[in-house]
Amino acid sequence: MNSLPLYRPSVDAGDLVAIAGQIGLVDGRLVAGGAARQTEQALANLVTVLDSAGLTPADVVKVNIYLTTMDDFDVLNERYNAVFGSEPPARTCVAVHELPFGALVELEAWARRRS
């Protein structure tokens, strides 16, 4: 019997919360519209996970970004800046060969609970 692994969108690690990789899925399907729409949806999904953990984008301290082509970097950057503003978290962005579901972009993050 084949079964999908358990997926946890976030995991508490003391004062830190690890946010699992988010891609541009809605209802289990990748959104149409290329890298721009997928980035917008992946960011929206990230914000939803943050919200469910009682956090906001201002609590994010590190983001790792995976693109299937660096040709999409400018599109990603524009949408990323719209969410994280003038004081964004540290980030890494790399090109990878392939992402789940054929996604063009994936974002994972670490956020900090503020006392």
Query: What's the CA gap between 32 and 48, in Å, rounded?
Result: 20
Whether the per-residue pLDDT at 98 is higher than 70: the answer is yes
Structural domain includes residue 4:
no
Q: What are phi and psi of 25, to 5 degrees?
A: -95, 140
- As to burial, measured by CB atoms within 10 angstroms (0-12 exposed, 13-18 middle, 19+ buried), residue 68 is middle
Structural domain includes residue 5:
no
Structural domain includes residue 3:
no
The confidence score (pLDDT) of residue 112 equals: 97
One-letter amino acid of 16: L
Cβ-contact 38, 68 below 8 angstroms? no
Question: What domain range includes position 36?
Answer: 10-112
Q: What is the pLDDT of residues 28-84, one digit of tens each?
A: 999 999 999 999 999 999 999 999 999 999 999 999 999 999 999 999 999 999 999
Catalytic residue IDs: 93
Number of domains in the chain: 1
Structural domain includes residue 2:
no
CATH of the domain at 40: 3.30.1330.40
